[in-house]
Every structure is written in C-alpha cells, then in structure tokens.
Structure 1
Amino acid sequence: MPKTATPKMDAEMLAFANDVALSIRQAKAGQYARVTTGEQLAARKRGRPVGSVQAVTKEPVKLRIDADLLAALRATGDGWQTRINDTLRASLHLAGKV
C-alpha cells in the first residue's frame, strides 16, 4: 500500500487549526465555553427575554420639531429620545402639571 503525502498547511491554516484545537480542549475542560443543548434551543421563545419588559411602557408618537433642534438633539448621542422625555417631564413638573 503506497503512502499518501500529508498535505502541507500554510501559516494561516495552521494557526486556525491550532485555535480550533485549543477551543475544543477548553470546552472539554469547561473553560470559556457555554454549550447550549437542543432542548434549551427548543425552549427559547421569540421576542424579548422574560423580565425585560418595563412596568411602564412608552407610547410612540409623531412629533414635528424644527430640523436644527432635531439635529442638535441627535448630536448628543444615543439616548437622545430618553433625554427629550426627561426634559419634557422636568418642564411639566416645574409647571406643576405632573
């Protein structure tokens, strides 16, 4: 029976193979890996996870405001809509309406 030549791996493929082997060893040792069983996958439901729903939900509205004001609010980064909500609440609180 003739011997077959072992294919040579380039450096990138060898590094990938070593990484896979390390991941398998870590999983077997219980390190860094979280294995999900088929039963756990089947038990998952679509949508938000349980307990992630706030007690008080917000109501979507369409609000027409000036373009420069909107640009300035969006420029403040993520959470700008929450900051608008907080500002409106503070304004109504100062006016004694909330």
Structure 2
Amino acid sequence: MNKDSISKTSMDDEYPEVTQADFDRAVLRQGLKPVEKKQRITIMLDAGVISYFKSKAGKKGYQTLINESLKKIIAEDQTDQPNLENMLRKVIREELEKASA
C-alpha cells in the first residue's frame, strides 16, 4: 500500500480536530512539574523601570525578571509578615508625624 492509496478522509477520521477548548484544558508540564500558563498583556511602565530590569536580566530576559519580582512581592504579601523595607517605612512615617506635631 502506498501513500497515494490512503484517502484524505480516512486520515482526517483518524485524528480528531483539536479545538481551543482542548488547549484550555491542557496541563502544560516541564518535566513532572506543571507549568503555570502565562497571559499576554500590554502594560505601560516607566522607562527607568524597564532600564533597571533590562540591566539586571542577563540571559533570562527582562520580562521574566519582572514576572519573578512580582511573584516575590505577592508571596511576601500573602505571608502577612511585613518585610524590613515596609517596616522601616512605617516607623519613619510614625516618627516624622510625631516630630511635626
């Protein structure tokens, strides 16, 4: 049997059409660990912010570095433990308010 003897309809029947719903249900993995799906957005950032992340990014890419930085901020926020910087800001504001009163 040669490839010319296989009709197109028999090949179409063998493999069902993949729909967007199929992709939405798919679980992406890297090794055995599921990989989070990413969503494309448009965002306006200050030029200085972009320059900073581009200078720090290296091979990863600055968008990946921005994403990782935002994940760290979310993780800190979810632990309900203020980080040192936020704690210092709060103390300084309180002291400034006392000094101006």
TM-score band w.r.t. shorter chain: 0.3 to 0.5
Normalized per residue, the structure richer in helix is 2
In terms of Rg, which structure is larger?
1
Q: TM (normalized to structure 1)?
A: 0.39
